[in-house]
Amino acid sequence: MKLLMLINARSGMKNSKAHLLDAIDIFCGNGYEVTTYVTQSPNDAERYLLKNRKKYDVVCVFGGDGTMNEVSNALMRKEYKPLLGYFPSGTMNDFGTNFDLGNDPKTIAEKIVQKNERPFDVGLFNDRYFNYVAAFGAMCDVPFTTDRSAKEALGNIAYILEGISHLPEIRKIPVKYSLNGKDYKRDVLFGLIYSGNRVAGMELEDKKRARVDDGKFNVLLVDYIPSIFETSDLLDYLLQKKQLIHRYQTDHITLEFEDDSTVWTLDGEKAGTIDGKAEITIINKALSLLA
């Protein structure tokens, strides 16, 4: 079998790459013909696979959730879809944690050669695909505005520090949304549409209720809090005021915004602003991960 090791050398902590050769050794020892490609720029993984995907039976991604997002976008746009392997090397690694992958390349490679396929759902956000989360609102741009060198040195703490610096920019977002045959209108602080149970390093759902292959999104919308700057512990406040949190499960949601400047992220990467409307659909068991 032909296997591509697609490497984002700029992703995550520097010491995450220490045992990469151990993984390649396991593949070669199990009869795989291994090709390596190191991405050179943003979107290079997507570009490379759009051109070369048919050469490989398995594509292994060594990078963060953003690199994995590029790979899924390439494969979802074409009929031929090789199996996937994932070596999470980013800072949060939410997608990999949904599969209990851990961060030891040798252990992950040993799982991949066992050829246990685990299908997972893929979301479609207007014309762009995502693996586990589409988000908008308060501090959702923190993952891509945080300095890379700070993430390498400080890990998750870098996100916290960057988030604090964004507090003065928090505003209410008027939104109309439709799902499961009902229409709603709210002023929200932020919104998450996600598959699985983990986002931004937090487990938001019970694993038995929220799976990556159940054909459903979890939707979480939090009402805008006028006195947010007087709230010393936002998470504790929201836990006490559960009526401010709105949860749903659906396979399709449409959101309309009064303001075209609402910024979205997909799998922790900047997706930019939209022209007033976001239509989000889930595609059940669209791709398969060896894990």
pLDDT in tens, 71-91: 999 999 999 999 999 999 876
Which domains are seen in the chain, by residue range?
2-115 (3.40.50.10330), 129-285 (2.60.200.40)
Confidence of residue 241 (pLDDT cuts 50, 70, 90): low
What dihedral do alpha carbons 142, 146, 150, 152 form, nearest 10°? 80
Q: Hey, how many other C-beta atoms are within 10 angstroms of the C-beta on 176?
A: 14
Cα distances (angstroms) measured from residue 22 to each of 105, 112, 282, 291:
7, 13, 36, 17
Cα distances (angstroms) measured from residue 65 to each of 115, 143, 185:
22, 11, 31
Task: Name the phi and psi angles at 12, rounded to 5.
Answer: 70, -160
Instruction: Give the pLDDT confidence of 198-237 residue by residue, as tens digits.
Output: 777 667 777 666 789 999 999 999 888 776 555 555 555 5
- Please state which of the ranges 129-138, 170-179, 259-268 shows the lowest mean pLDDT: 259-268
Q: What is the mean pLDDT of residues 175-182?
A: 97
Q: What is the pTM of this model?
A: 0.85
Q: What is the mean pLDDT of residues 47-57?
A: 97
Q: Hey, how many other C-beta atoms are within 10 angstroms of the C-beta on 14?
A: 10
Q: How is residue 259 written in tokens?
A: 């303001």
